[in-house]
Amino acid sequence: MKMILVFLLSFGLLATAFAQREELNKQLEQLGQNHNDFLSFMYSKTKNNNLSLCDKKSYKILNQWAKDFFASKKANWDGDFVDFYSTNKWDEQPLYPRRELSDEANKYLEKLSQQIDLLNENNVPDFAIFCDDLKEKALIELKSDNEAVVVGSAIAIAKYSCEYWNKHLVDWVTFYSGMPCSPNFQAKMSPTEKKILQADTAGAISGAIGGIAIPPPIAGSVAGALVQGGWASCVSGICIGFKIDRITDWLW
């Protein structure tokens, strides 16, 4: 009888843990969708309002739009576009190794990074499948809930970011490079969605790690991943659209 009770208790704990990870997976998928909705929102707002991002006042407006969107998703943004860009050095952040994470968690980020390096316009559907499979394994195998959130956030953002930029990068480049203050020189980086994708994923990792301390941890982490990943994506998208690699080199 005692063994039966132990088994039932263990089974109950496993079922509860599984249910929690299933719920987390739903939140991560919503995180990815929110990320893409944010980019569509910011692009539409900028274009529909004919906002030319050629002065500081324009970026204050951009910041307020971002703040409003994040607030609608129960996330907070009180930062500044240019400060975020210069402070985070989005084009230099590694996806792994992250010292805050275990070797096991970093292995998932390594696999994700390797797949991003192999990404091209012909294997975008395969990349989405890869991300779904990798996220599923991570949510099953990672024992730490915090690490499951961080790694899961990175994978979800990577999948949705790839889908978005594969469809819309040309629109962003065409629109933003046509602004009167857009430089004529070519960026040192290659203007591809891969560079933005790397920025998105690194931003999501930083946001999720930072959100771990916000109670409740999972809710705070997912919200943080949206803010950091979504904003990094918008910042890098605009800067690649302007064909620059350092916005402070030319804006003021």
User: Which tens digit of pLDDT belongs to each residue from 92-146?
Assistant: 667 889 999 999 999 999 999 999 988 887 888 999 999 999 999 999 999 999 9
Query: Can you tell me the mean pLDDT for 22-31?
Result: 94
- At 251, is the pLDDT very low, low, confident or very high (cuts 50, 70, 90)? low
User: Which pTM does this prediction carry?
Assistant: 0.87
The Cα–Cα gap between 185 and 224 comes to 35
Give pLDDT tens digits for 178-201. Answer: 888 877 655 544 546 787 888 899
- At 42, is the pLDDT very low, low, confident or very high (cuts 50, 70, 90)? very high
Inform me whether the pLDDT recorded for 38 exceeds 50: yes
Query: Can you tell me the mean pLDDT for 32-55?
Result: 95
Q: What is the pLDDT of residue 15?
A: 37
Q: What is the pLDDT of residue 248?
A: 55
Query: Can you tell me the mean pLDDT for 42-57?
Result: 92
